[in-house]
Chains A and B, each alone.
Chain A
């Protein structure tokens, strides 16, 4: 029994009150601090990435007046013609005073190797330009590009500079003649990987990522949802289903490289599927995402109020009808959230793809599920590991694209969720 008088109780409550509020205040401060710290880190991350990467969306171009010499370009053998020669002779005519092999080489290094490929594409696309002279903007080499973007300083001693004094003089002259300028770098969005930073693009990796994720989604979503529905709604509760449940939960925590090794053993070595293809990548990532989808799917099914199930059963719906007509639609938003988390994980994976050969140099843009391909995080990893300094900005730019991809994926998920989640 309580033998305290109301007055003494009130005093006791008052005494404790200050302490209680203090604790609450501290807790709130700590919480706010944690949020601030995470925002600061996110801010630093974004600022560095955007700071380093934004310049990659621009590219330095040089204007050359190419004479498509009919003598060089034999119509019968256009693919074998000496396109680099066209570029070189034009550069020589721009700077006729350049003599000596070493200086000439420095001169040729002003423009990218890609210039020759560009001319080849032009001629192959339209043979009528043979014999005419045309102004063409070709990409500058990566060093010139870096210099033009201010990432190589004039003030450094010449021996320590990748752009030499004589090249500086040429660049200055090109500039006064309006023959060199920065333009939007469309190559970055249309090309596959390249070892020349100025020719490298993200499209190959982006296509690879999309193809891989399509396979992952097409397999893991139906299988994951079906498994969750079966385990949650139909499977008897016994020792076996308990074991299955424990195993699924464990699988969700298995390091992803293990799935890569499993994929290598099963899909490539046993089934004989080709290496480095989005199909196998998707299959491996499916293994990895399935547990996430199943677990979140089961949680979503559990969260559907029992009253809805009773309503359906009470009216004479069969179990299957109850699940399909009522429970599943209500659980769908939760399942979609789980799926999108799983897909986002899959989007960022590199480790399991290493063993199945998707960490590779691939120039051609994959067009089907069985073309060799790589994915964006792998592309980022490969560029980050490249010696050429101009890849630094490409790496950051690729990270930006990856983040953008992730954000748009999440946006689609939010949209779908809103659609399913009709406001009732």
Chain B
């Protein structure tokens, strides 16, 4: 008897779901980067609470995972938008095209600074990108000046640069699966590696080797992979004043009473400096939209309008309160128009 009831219940669930799976979806489905997630969710919530539409669903899948889902096809079972903390790759774009996702609209929403921070109990670091490269790369140029690589010999910051304090190199950062890590090696480490002319010259001759040198982080314990959770890194910095952490600017912004950002190339990671483009380690954040979904999914047009409105991503918008660094006025206007016209991306 009990079994019969359960069987009926199961059958009912299937029937209901099969029926509704074919019906239209009445909310916007967004996937993608965990870096953009805190911003996209604020917009979604604002949109859901001020309009008659349902609140868009935002999944935190990571940039790469989001792209894969986004490009898997057209139709309501596939997401409408994906967030990304980097630009779409050519291979991903081709994948999209191959799966019938023809018109993809690219929208830049602003910038995110990546900071190196330490506890306020000690003095702030004054780093250059070259220091960062030398302190964290797996293989570094021979200090004697010869044009060859040796395994990273530096134990303390003082070894790297005599003006730095004599404390052990101990950097807590995200694992390779993280978009923050990708951006960090590209902007900070590669930027440092370029200071060596022979390495820079290699870029044209042997791009693979160049990337391997600049993007490979040392594995001898000086760089500690602390997981994707930035809050965890912040807590560890509080406990260990000698350690340096790598994370997004919004975490520095929220925890400014405990930690301070290191100066990089003489620029402090502040809201203004990142917005001006003076702070070197910052990256653009994007989202990508399926043009063909805009007319089908209720609320999608409104959500895009909300996202690209001045009250959201503007200088005084609510996204800046959350740590998003806004684009310059002209770029914002340009982007707003692109969103309005849904200008498809070409690659």
Identify which of residues 97-113 in chain A touch chain B, using a CB-to-CB cut-off of 8 Å: 105, 113
Closest approach, in angstroms, between the C-beta of B172 and any C-beta of chain A?
A: 16
Q: Mark A240-269, 1 if CB is under 8 A from B, else 0.
A: 000000000000000000000000000010
Query: Is there contact, CB below 8 Å, between B230 and A79?
Result: no
B308 CB–A CB distance under 8 Å: no
Report Cα–Cα, A222/B6, bound state, in Å: 7
Give the segment of A32-40, A63-71, A292-300, A357-365 that binds chain B: A357-365
Query: Is there contact, CB below 8 Å, between B52 and A79?
Result: yes
Report Cα–Cα, A219/B3, bound state, in Å: 10
Query: Is there contact, CB below 8 Å, between B254 and A387?
Result: yes
Q: A195-B322, A363-B44 are in contact. Are A388 and B6 (CB under 8 A)?
A: no
Contact of A389 among B48, B229, B255 (CB under 8 A): B255
Query: Is there contact, CB below 8 Å, between A274 and B57?
Result: no
Report Cα–Cα, A273/B255, bound state, in Å: 42
Q: A222-B6, A361-B41, A372-B27 are in contact. Are A272 and B255 (CB under 8 A)?
A: no
Query: Is there contact, CB below 8 Å, between B42 and A195?
Result: yes
B45 CB–A CB distance under 8 Å: yes
Complex contacts, A194 vs chain B, CB 8 Å: 45
Q: A162-B257, A221-B6, A274-B21 are in contact. Are A361 and B230 (CB under 8 A)?
A: no
Report Cα–Cα, A361/B30, bound state, in Å: 9
Query: Is there contact, CB below 8 Å, between B61 and A384?
Result: no
Q: A385-B231, A387-B250 are in contact. Are A222 and B257 (CB under 8 A)?
A: no
Query: Is there contact, CB below 8 Å, between A361 and B17?
Result: no
Q: A221-B6, A360-B58 are in contact. Are A117 and B254 (CB under 8 A)?
A: no
Closest approach, in angstroms, between the C-beta of B291 and any C-beta of chain A?
A: 21
Q: Mark B212-252, 1 if CB is under 8 A from A, else 0.
A: 00000000000000001111000000000000000010110
Q: A152-B257, A156-B257, A162-B257 are in contact. Are A218 and B59 (CB under 8 A)?
A: no
Report Cα–Cα, A139/B7, bound state, in Å: 47
Query: Is there contact, CB below 8 Å, between B59 and A357?
Result: yes
Q: Mark B6-17, 1 if CB is under 8 A from A, else 0.
A: 110110010011
Report Cα–Cα, A277/B23, bound state, in Å: 14
Contact of B31 among A156, A357, A382 (CB under 8 A): A357
Query: Is there contact, CB below 8 Å, between A273 and B57?
Result: no
B34 CB–A CB distance under 8 Å: yes
A370 CB–B CB distance under 8 Å: yes
Query: Is there contact, CB below 8 Å, between B257 and A161?
Result: yes
Query: Is there contact, CB below 8 Å, between A364 and B54?
Result: yes
Query: Is there contact, CB below 8 Å, between A387 and B59?
Result: no
Report Cα–Cα, A234/B55, bound state, in Å: 51
Query: Is there contact, CB below 8 Å, between B48 and A364?
Result: yes
Closest approach, in angstroms, between the C-beta of B52 and any C-beta of chain A?
A: 7
Query: Is there contact, CB below 8 Å, between A361 and B60?
Result: yes
Identify which of residues 119-170 in chain A touch chain B, using a CB-to-CB cut-off of 8 Å: 152, 156, 159-162
Identify which of residues 287-305 in chain A touch chain B, using a CB-to-CB cut-off of 8 Å: none
Closest approach, in angstroms, between the C-beta of A157 and any C-beta of chain B?
A: 8
B77 CB–A CB distance under 8 Å: yes
Complex contacts, B48 vs chain A, CB 8 Å: 363-364
Report Cα–Cα, A369/B257, bound state, in Å: 44
Contact of A360 among B49, B59, B253, B323 (CB under 8 A): B59
B120 CB–A CB distance under 8 Å: yes
Query: Is there contact, CB below 8 Å, between B254 and A385?
Result: no
Complex contacts, A160 vs chain B, CB 8 Å: 120, 256-257
Query: Is there contact, CB below 8 Å, between B41 and A195?
Result: yes
Q: Mark A1-21, 1 if CB is under 8 A from B, else 0.
A: 000000000000000000000
A386 CB–B CB distance under 8 Å: yes
Query: Is there contact, CB below 8 Å, between A362 and B55?
Result: yes
Query: Is there contact, CB below 8 Å, between B55 and A363?
Result: yes
Q: A160-B120, A195-B38 are in contact. Are A218 and B253 (CB under 8 A)?
A: no
Closest 7 CB pairs of A and B: A363-B55, A361-B58, A222-B6, A361-B41, A360-B59, A160-B257, A372-B57
A-B contact pairs, 18 of them (CB 8 A): A79-B51, A161-B257, A195-B38, A274-B25, A275-B59, A275-B77, A361-B45, A361-B58, A361-B59, A363-B48, A363-B49, A363-B55, A370-B20, A385-B34, A385-B228, A385-B230, A387-B38, A387-B248
